Chains A and B, each alone.
Chain A
Amino acid sequence: AQSVTQLDSHVSVSEGTPVLLRCNYSSSYSPSLFWYVQHPNKGLQLLLKYTSAATLVKGINGFEAEFKKSETSFHLTKPSAHMSDAAEYFCVVSVNTGGFKTIFGAGTRLFVKA
């Protein structure tokens, strides 16, 4: 079975400090992994994706993530938080199990303090 675990439901950082949002996955198949951001009352926006090429993936707005197969992790990082980064972040796994299946993590709410 496939699963996604976002290890923190809430993360709070100060503006200008690093951001780390943690995601672990479990899959019997070769996964593609994604991070999406959702601002209040908005749709989700794709930040970045891993699809079996480079393990360090750079995305929009200064975010990046590293796929670590040995740790089954895909943590999202940003060197310096901005107030506009305050939002909900979803880690997503997609696999081909004969059909194509997408699993969303429960989400991590990022708070950014001035």
Chain B
Amino acid sequence: DTEVTQTPKHLVMGMTNKKSLKCEQHMGHRAMYWYKQKAKKPPELMFVYSYEKLSINESVPSRFSPECPNSSLLNLHLHALQPEDSALYLCASRTGVEKDYGYTFGSGTRLTVV
């Protein structure tokens, strides 16, 4: 298995809702990432997990809460989002955090906040 699987593919949520994005990989990668991508822009790093521990939080608002239940799963819990949070949310993994490893990206969750 050489894929990163993200669910759901599309999500529409109100500003008072709570929802979760899910990401799964079975490549044995020990580093997992959440990126946010706005239209016509490169991905922006949100969170990094290394060996299931949060190692980087790029000053993301607390309405985004990551969770790494085990080495294969990564969740992003969403609560009280704003319309400007609408974006493509990408999960990625790689063998480790070292600079030589390339990312494997999922296809993303297209989030719309109404």
Contacts and interface: CB of A to CB of B under 8 A. Distances in A.
A32 B100 contact: yes
A96 B100 CA distance: 10
Contacts of A32: 99-100
Interface stretch (B13-21, B61-69, B101-109): B101-109
A92 B72 CA distance: 25
Given A96-B98, A100-B97, A43 B90 contact: yes
B30 interface: no
Contacts of A95: 99
B45 interface: yes
A96 B99 contact: yes
A100 B102 contact: no
Interface in B38-69: 40-43, 45, 56
A44 B110 contact: no
A94 B99 contact: yes
B42 A34 contact: no
A99 B105 CA distance: 22
A41 B87 CA distance: 11
Contact of B99 (A31, A36, A42, A107): A31
B98 A100 contact: yes
Interface stretch (A18-26, A45-53, A65-73): A45-53
Contacts of B105: 36, 43-45
A43 to B, nearest CB: 4
A34 B108 contact: no
A90 interface: yes
A43 B100 contact: no
Given A94-B100, A100-B97, 18 more contacts: A32-B99, A41-B108, A41-B110, A42-B107, A43-B106, A43-B107, A44-B90, A44-B92, A46-B104, A49-B102, A51-B99, A90-B42, A96-B98, A104-B42, A105-B42, A106-B42, A107-B40, A107-B42
Pairs of residues from A and B, 9 with the lowest C-beta to C-beta distance, nearest first: A43-B105, A104-B42, A94-B99, A51-B100, A46-B102, A44-B105, A32-B99, A43-B107, A100-B97
Interface of B: 4, 6, 40-43, 45, 56, 88, 90, 92, 97-100, 102-108, 110
